[in-house]
Amino acid sequence: LLHKSMKAKKLDVASQLAASFSHEIGNPLTATKGFIQLLSDEKISIETRNQYLKIAAQELDHAINIIDDYLTFANPAPKNRDKIPIFESIQRGIEVLTPVAEEHNVKINISLLKNNNCFVLGERKKFEQCLIYIVKNRIESMPNGGEINITLDCNRTSNINITIQDKGIGMTQRQIDQLGEPFFTTKENGTGLGMMVAFSVIKGIGGKIEVESLQEKGTTFYINLPVGQGDRHLDPIV
C-alpha cells in the first residue's frame, strides 16, 4: 500500500512538472512569435529590426536552456552503470566551464585529499552535468569575480566527500529552503532547473547534499557519495 501511494505521489509531481514546463517554455516561444510577427512590418527601421531579432534570439535561448535542463532530469534511470572516476569527472566539469569562469574573473581550485582513483557507479554524463550546474551557479554568484574551492576526499573504505565552496552572494534561509524546487530562480534569465537536476542525480547515485550559506559570505555544498554503489532510482523531488 505504501509503495502504491508513493507511486501516485510521484506521478502527481511528474504531471505538475509537465504542466509548469509547458507554461515556462510557452512564454518565451509566444514572445518569439510576437517579435517575428512585428518583423514582417516593412516600415520598421534597421535598429528596431535588429533589436527585435536580438530579443527573439534571447527568448529562444531561454526556451532551449529550459529544454536542456529538463531533459537531463526527465531521462529515465540508466540501465548501464558507468564506473565514474570522481576526480576526472570534476576536472572535466571544470574544463567545460573554463571560458565562463574566465569571463567572470573566477578561479577554480581543486584539492585532493588521499588517493585520486575512487569511483562511484552511475551515469558519468549526468554526474558531470550535475557538477557543471553546481559550479556554474557559483560563478554566477560572484559578480565581481573570486575563487571557487573544491575539495575531494577519497577514502576507499568509507564514503567520498566533495566540498564545493564559493564566497559569493550567498542565500537567505528561505532561498536555501526553496533550492531544488522546479523553476525556483532569483536570476533574470534563470531556468530554476539546475539544482533540481543536480539533487536528483546525486540522490540517484545514493548520495546526499548538505547546504550551508550565509548572505554576502558565500555558499558551501557538502556532497557525500557511497563508494562503488549504483544508481538506484531517480526521484524528481529531494
Question: How far is C-alpha 42 from the geometric centre of its chain's CA atoms?
Answer: 42
Residue 206, classed as helix, strand or coil, is: coil
- Are 179 and 171 a contacting pair, CB within 8 Å? yes
Q: How far apart are CA 210 and CA 134, in angstroms?
A: 13
C-alpha cell at 81: 552503470
Q: Closest approach of Cβ 211 to ligand ADP, in Å? A: 8
Q: Closest approach of Cβ 159 to ligand ADP, in Å? A: 23
Residue type at 235 in one-letter notation: D
204 binds, among ligand ADP, Mg ion, none (CB under 5 to 8 A by kind): none
Which region, judged by CB under 6 A, interacts with ligand ADP, from 36-44, 82-90, 111-119, 192-200? 192-200
Q: How far apart are CA 107 and CA 98, in angstroms?
A: 9
Residue type at 223 in one-letter notation: I
Residue 75, classed as helix, strand or coil, is: coil
Which region, judged by CB under 6 A, interacts with ligand ADP, from 14-22, 88-96, 167-175, 228-236? 167-175
Q: Which CB, 82 or 166, lies closer to ligand ADP?
A: 166
Pattern 134-153, ligand ADP, x by CB under 6 A:
---xx--x------------
Q: How far apart are CA 187 and CA 167, in angstroms?
A: 18
Q: Closest approach of Cβ 116 to ligand ADP, in Å? A: 25
- Angstrom CA distances, 75 to 68, 125, 132, stand at 11, 12, 17
Of 154, 191, 201, 225, which lies in the binding site for ligand ADP, with binding defined by CB under 6 A? 191
Closest by Cα among 162, 159, 104 to 136: 104
- Are 211 and 170 a contacting pair, CB within 8 Å? no
Pattern 121-140, Mg ion, x by CB under 5 A:
----------------x---
85 binds, among ligand ADP, Mg ion, none (CB under 5 to 8 A by kind): none
Using CB under 6 A as the binding rule, whether residue 184 contacts ligand ADP is answered as: yes
Q: How many amino acids of this chain bind ligand ADP (CB under 6 A)? A: 22
Q: Which residues bind Mg ion (CB under 5 A)?
A: 137, 194
Q: Which residues bind ligand ADP (CB under 6 A)?
A: 133, 137-138, 141, 166, 168-171, 175, 179, 184-187, 190-195, 219
